[in-house]
Structures are given as structure tokens and as C-alpha cells.
């Protein structure tokens, strides 16, 4: 192992794929229990590693020298072994977070910013905020003078919130570290978490029309800066953006919504095959897991029981990444499903003329006129979707989705 990422739990990490985009062919995930950190730092024969939670501060005693950025931030996320064997610690989170703010276009100058968390990442955040001239940067922690119980009372005039905690990170999706409702002046939310693509915190801010950004661009930028330290390379902003776009598009699910019979399953299967992605049809997952057909569940237990199952399995299926997912036509009948679909996915509304929709084997479509269902659901499909696409046939529609996602089918020759 020459290069890799040091952390406690790394199942969520995209780092090996990311560093490969920047030219590092061998990059390992190094999971180390806290009690084993001393022996690892004293005996491991690496050339360069990145460091993530919870070790950004804990590795410092084993280092011979810190960069000014690491010293100011009080944490290290990049370690390089020098020719003499000594270890040099740097903090590319600082440059990465600065790049994230520029990318997001969230204005922090002369603003009051709440920084959630007090770990190593928070130190980098404070360093950048100070340099960018914020009016105040307030640390919010569980046991600090400003905590999650009193922050809304003490600082209701906060302009921006930065989440530097792991709360809401995969696999703990759907949880927010703070309720943003009391902060009437809030104009920006920055979440350093990159998996899922949109955390519960980000989604709650989006609903209020607040400018948001997740942490993936920061992850990509700090990785580029780490590669510069490892190999003496130099990456331009366009290189970082290209890697960000490729990684994000490969990781986000493609979710198909639309009326029953609009072609979600057929197009989803063809699209998944073209991209060599896993395909999951939520209705089929429910049937496989319960051992019962959808019509049987409707007939014997009613629609409410089915809708509860649909929400449960939508959460399970959409929590992953890099899939093509077909939903049932009624997934939009429960508001809580919106965040489950959007947290890690591009949501595509497949449009098909009502006269062309098939209703055989679809319990709701058989019991309620299609025109009535369309009037109820189409406005929600439009509201929830990131893109609206006419189903003009399997191959043309698959091609349109691939072009929209800036993806290429597997097996094509690279130019």
C-alpha cells in the first residue's frame, strides 16, 4: 500500500475512483480502529495518505512538520512521507472548502455563519471563513456554549449554515443535524457530506428556495490538491470540474417516475443495460421481498398498507448509488417519498399520452379512471422531476437520457 485513505469506517468513500480520475492507479481504503492508530502510524510504509474522520487531529503527534494551513486549521487530512522517512502533514480541506464556496456562489463575506461541529473539518472551515471576511463564525457543538438546543435563540440572525459533522452521511441518510426553520435570514446552506448527494439538511433548504451545495466538489478539489502533493502535478479548475462532473454523474441514481404504463420499467432495463448499471424496479423489489404480488397486497390489505411498503422499499433502493430505478406510478402520493427519491438521484419524469397507457395488472389504474389519476399526479411528477422527457420510443428515449447525463454506454471506443 503506497497511497490511500485512512479512517475508521470507509464504506461510504468514493476516494479510490476519484484518485484514479487524477491518475493515481493504486489507492486503498485503510480502515483502522482507534486503538490501532498508534501502531499503524509508527509502522505503516506508505508514500502518501489522506486522512478522514475521526483521525484528522489524532495523527498530528506522529508528524515531523505541519504546513501553515494544517497548523492554522488544527487538523491534517494529507500526509506525505519525505525521502528521509519523516512525515509531513498538510490540510487540503482548506483549499477544498475555499473551492467549494467559489463553486457554490454562496456569499459569506460580512455574513454570520454557523459552523456545525468542532472536529478537524470544522477547523478548515473556520480558516477559510476568516480569510473570506465573515462577520462572525459561530461553532455549534453538542456540548459547547452554543449548542443545538440554544443556537436558534442565541443566533436567529444567522445567514449561512455549514455542516462539518457526519450527521446525515450514508448509511445514516435522512437525518439533519439542525432544524433550519427558526433561521428566517438564512441565505445559504453548505454541507460537507458528499454521500448522499443531497442530505436532509440540503433538501430542507432547497424547499425554502435557499442556495445550497453538497460536499462532493470539495472532495474532488481536495483530492486534486492531495495528488499535487503526492506526485508534483498541477491541476487547473477545469480539471477539477471535469472530475467532479464524471464522478457525480456516475454515482447519482437515475430514477424514472411517471404514470402507470408510461414505460419506466422497459426503458429502465434498456438504460441500465446500456450503461452497465444495476436496475431495480421498486414494485418488483416489494414483490420479491414480501413474496406477494402488488394486486394481492391491494386486494387483501388495501392501498395504505401497500403505500407504507412502497415508502419503506423506496428508501432502501434509493439509498444506494449508480443505479437505474423504476418507481411505481403512485410513488408521488406520499410527500415523504420526494426526499427519498431526490437525495441521491436524478429524477426523470417519463411522459406518455394517456391513451397509450396500459392498465392491465395495475390495481389503482383499474379502479380509478386514468384521466382522474393524471389530473392528480401529473402536477406532482412535474414538481418532483429534474427533467421531463417524452417517451418517444425505447431507443430514442434511452439515448436522450444518456446525453442528458453526459454518459456513454459501456463498450464504446474512447476517442
Q: What's the rounded Cα separation, in Å, for the pair 16 and 231?
A: 16
Average pLDDT over residues 128-149: 97
414 pLDDT above the threshold of 50: no
* pLDDT computed for residue 370 by the predictor: 83
Confidence of residue 415 (pLDDT cuts 50, 70, 90): very low
Q: Which has more confidence, 25 or 18? A: 18
Return the H-helix or E-strand segment holding 349.
strand 345-351
* pLDDT computed for residue 11 by the predictor: 83
- The mean-pLDDT minimum among 49-63, 67-81, 223-237, 397-411 falls in 397-411
Confidence of residue 360 (pLDDT cuts 50, 70, 90): low
Q: What's the rounded Cα separation, in Å, for the pair 158 and 383?
A: 29
413 pLDDT above the threshold of 50: no
53 pLDDT above the threshold of 90: no
Phi, psi of 172 (to 5 degrees): -90, 40
Q: What's the rounded Cα separation, in Å, for the pair 230 and 281?
A: 43
Average pLDDT, the chain: 94
Average pLDDT over residues 361-388: 84
Q: What's the rounded Cα separation, in Å, for the pair 70 and 94?
A: 8
Q: Active-site residues: which are they?
A: 56
Average pLDDT over residues 319-334: 96
Q: What's the rounded Cα separation, in Å, for the pair 119 and 7?
A: 14
412 pLDDT above the threshold of 50: no
157 pLDDT above the threshold of 60: yes
Strand order in the sheet with 136-140: 136-140, 112-116, 160-163, 188-191, 211-213
Distances 94 to 16, 53, 107, 120, 193 between C-alpha atoms, Å? 21, 15, 17, 11, 15
410 pLDDT above the threshold of 70: no
Given a contact cutoff of 8 angstroms between Cβ atoms, the answer to whether 260 and 362 are in contact is yes
Strand partners, 175: none
Distances 191 to 72, 100, 163, 369, 407 between C-alpha atoms, Å? 22, 10, 5, 44, 26
Considering all CA atoms of the chain, what is the largest pairwise distance in Å, rounded to the nearest integer?
Answer: 77
* pLDDT computed for residue 299 by the predictor: 92
Where does 291-388 have alpha helices with state H? 294-301, 303-318, 336-342, 363-367, 370-384
319 pLDDT above the threshold of 60: yes
* pLDDT computed for residue 120 by the predictor: 83
Cell of 116: 456545525
Average pLDDT over residues 229-238: 95
Can you say how many angstroms the Cα of residue 241 is from the centroid of all Cα atoms in its chain?
Answer: 16
Picking from 378, 164, 340, the residue whose alpha carbon sits closest to that of residue 258 is: 378
What percentage of residues in the chain have a pLDDT greater than 70? 95
* pLDDT computed for residue 1 by the predictor: 79
What percentage of residues in the chain have a pLDDT greater than 90? 88
* pLDDT computed for residue 368 by the predictor: 75
Q: What's the rounded Cα separation, in Å, for the pair 382 and 219?
A: 32
Can you say how many angstroms the Cα of residue 285 is from the centroid of all Cα atoms in its chain?
Answer: 23
Confidence of residue 230 (pLDDT cuts 50, 70, 90): very high
Average pLDDT over residues 85-93: 96
The SS3 of residue 58 is coil
Cell of 84: 528521509
* pLDDT computed for residue 367 by the predictor: 63
Q: What's the rounded Cα separation, in Å, for the pair 205 and 43?
A: 45
* pLDDT computed for residue 25 by the predictor: 85
Amino acid at each position: 500500500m503506497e497511497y490511500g485513505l485512512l479512517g475508521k469506517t470507509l464504506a461510504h468513500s468514493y476516494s479510490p475512483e476519484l484518485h484514479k480520475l487524477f491518475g493515481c492507479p493504486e489507492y486503498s481504503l485503510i480502515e483502522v480502529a482507534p486503538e490501532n492508530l498508534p501502531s499503524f502510524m509508527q509502522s505503516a510504509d506508505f508514500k502518501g495518505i489522506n486522512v478522514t474522520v475521526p483521525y484528522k487531529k489524532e495523527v498530528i503527534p506522529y508528524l515531523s512538520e505541519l504546513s501553515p494551513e494544517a497548523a492554522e486549521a488544527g487538523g491534517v487530512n494529507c500526509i506525505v512521507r519525505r525521502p528521509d522517512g519523516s512525515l509531513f502533514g498538510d490540510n487540503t480541506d482548506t483549499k477544498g472548502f475555499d473551492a467549494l464556496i467559489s463553486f457554490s456562489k454562496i456569499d459569506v463575506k460580512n455574513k454570520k455563519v454557523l459552523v456545525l461541529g468542532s472536529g478537524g473539518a470544522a477547523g478548515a472551515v473556520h480558516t477559510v471563513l476568516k480569510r473570506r471576511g465573515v462577520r462572525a463564525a459561530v461553532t455549534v457543538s453538542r456540548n459547547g456554549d452554543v449548542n443545538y438546543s440554544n443556537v436558534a435563540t442565541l443566533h436567529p440572525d444567522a445567514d449561512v449554515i455549514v455542516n462539518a459533522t457526519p450527521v446525515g452521511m450514508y448509511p445514516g441518510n435522512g437525518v439533519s443535524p439542525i432544524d433550519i426553520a427558526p433561521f428566517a435570514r438564512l441565505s445559504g446552506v453548505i454541507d460537507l457530506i458528499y454521500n448522499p448527494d443531497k442530505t436532509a439538511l440540503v433538501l430542507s433548504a432547497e424547499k425554502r428556495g435557499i442556495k445550497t451545495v453538497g460536499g462532493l466538489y470539495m472532495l474532488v478539489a481536495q483530492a486534486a490538491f492531495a495528488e499535487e502533493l503526492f506526485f508534483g502535478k498541477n491541476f487547473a479548475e477545469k480539471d477539477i470540474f471535469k472530475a467532479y462532473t464524471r464522478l457525480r454523474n456516475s454515482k447519482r441514481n437515475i430514477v424514472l417516475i411517471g404514470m402507470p404504463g408510461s414505460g419506466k420499467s422497459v426503458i429502465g432495463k434498456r438504460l441500465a443495460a446500456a450503461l452497465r448499471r444495476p436496475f431495480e424496479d421498486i414494485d418488483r423489489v416489494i414483490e420479491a421481498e414480501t413474496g406477494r404480488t402488488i394486486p394481492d397486497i391491494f386486494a387483501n390489505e388495501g392501498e395504505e398498507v401497500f403505500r407504507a411498503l412502497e415508502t419503506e422499499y423506496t428508501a432502501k433502493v434509493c439509498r444506494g448509488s449508480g443505479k437505474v430505478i423504476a418507481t411505481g406510478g403512485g410513488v408521488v402520493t406520499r410527500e415523504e417519498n420526494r426526499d427519498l427519491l431526490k437525495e441521491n438521484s436524478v429524477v426523470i419524469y417519463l411522459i406518455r399520452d394517456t391513451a397509450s397507457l396500459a392498465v392491465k395488472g395495475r390495481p389503482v389504474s383499474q379502479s380509478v379512471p386514468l384521466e382522474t389519476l393524471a389530473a392528480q399526479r401529473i402536477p406532482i411528477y412535474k414538481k418532483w422531476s429534474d427533467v421531463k422527457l417524452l417517451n418517444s420510443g425505447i431507443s430514442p428515449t434511452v439515448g436522450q437520457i444518456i446525453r442528458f447525463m453526459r454518459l456513454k454506454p459501456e463498450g464504446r471506443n474512447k476517442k
